[in-house]
Amino acid sequence: MIPDLATVLRRRHTMIIIIRCAIAVAFAYSAVQLFQLTVGLLVNFQVLSVGMVVGAVLQEIHMLVLGVVLLIFQKPIARLLIPLGTRVDQCMNCGYPLKNLRSAICPECGVGIRHASPQSPQTPAALVPPPTPPPPPGFPRS
């Protein structure tokens, strides 16, 4: 069974929440590691130099990079992990079944439909703009 659009959007929202939790864990882990290193250096009465701080950041750079990448690409990752799942015989706009439909317009929502070619039945139907209506009688055509 192919889920409807509302279900897919709910699942994507849940995936974004999970990704944001992973971002929080990555940043929290890095912060705790840096804090422990700083406290360890201060307990030993060592003066913090720029080199020590840079070295500490470089030790935890993998978690920082992971957090930043997840932060930047959270929505594309959710779209990649949870695709729409549209079928060939359904309107991509409203989900109306298009089997045995003779017109090129969806009767439910009025969006133009370009049917998949018979050589490739797996290609989904694509949305095309609805045809423009003819001008009223008496107006010149351009």
Cα→Cα distances 130→82, 90, 124, Å: 29, 17, 18
pLDDT at residue number 87 = 58
Query: Is 64 a member of any domain?
Result: yes
Question: In angstroms, rounded to a whole number, what is the distance separating the alpha carbons of residues 109 and 92?
Answer: 10
Same domain for 117 and 55, yes or no, is no
Number of domains making up the chain: 2
Same domain for 62 and 108, yes or no, is no
Cα torsion 100, 105, 107, 111: sign: positive
Contact 104, 112 (CB under 8 A): yes
Residue that is last in its domain, among 81, 99, 120: 81
Same domain for 60 and 91, yes or no, is no
Query: Is 139 a member of any domain?
Result: no
Q: CA nearest 8: which of 132, 98, 121, 92? A: 92
Please list the pLDDT of the chain residue by residue as tens digits (142 residues): 567 778 888 999 999 999 999 999 999 998 888 888 777 777 776 666 777 777 777 877 888 899 999 999 999 999 899 887 655 677 777 778 877 877 778 888 888 776 544 433 433 444 455 566 777 777 666 5
Domain span at 124: 87-132
